[in-house]
Structure 1
Amino acid sequence: MEIKIEPLTEEDANALYFFECENRSFFEKMVPSRGEHYYQFDFFLERHRELLLEQSKRTSYFYLIKDLSGMIVGRINLVDVDQVNGIASIGYRIGESYTGRGIANQAVAILLTLPGLEEIKEIRAVTTSHNIASQKILERHYFKQTHVGDDVECNGETVTMLHFVWTRASKGIQG
Structure 2
Amino acid sequence: MRTQFKLIAPKTVPVLDPDFRPPVLANRNFQAEVKASGAAVPFLIAIERDRNRVSRFDTFVFDMKQLQAPANYFYVERVLKFLLWQFGGWKVTIHGPLELVTYLQACYSDTGLRAFDAEFWGDQTYEREMTIVHAASPEDFPCADDGESAAVKLDWKGWRI
* TM-score normalised according to structure 2 size: 0.36
Pair member with larger Rg: 2
Q: Which has the higher strand share?
A: 1
* TM-score normalised according to structure 1 size: 0.34
Higher relative contact order (CA 8 A, sep 6+): 2
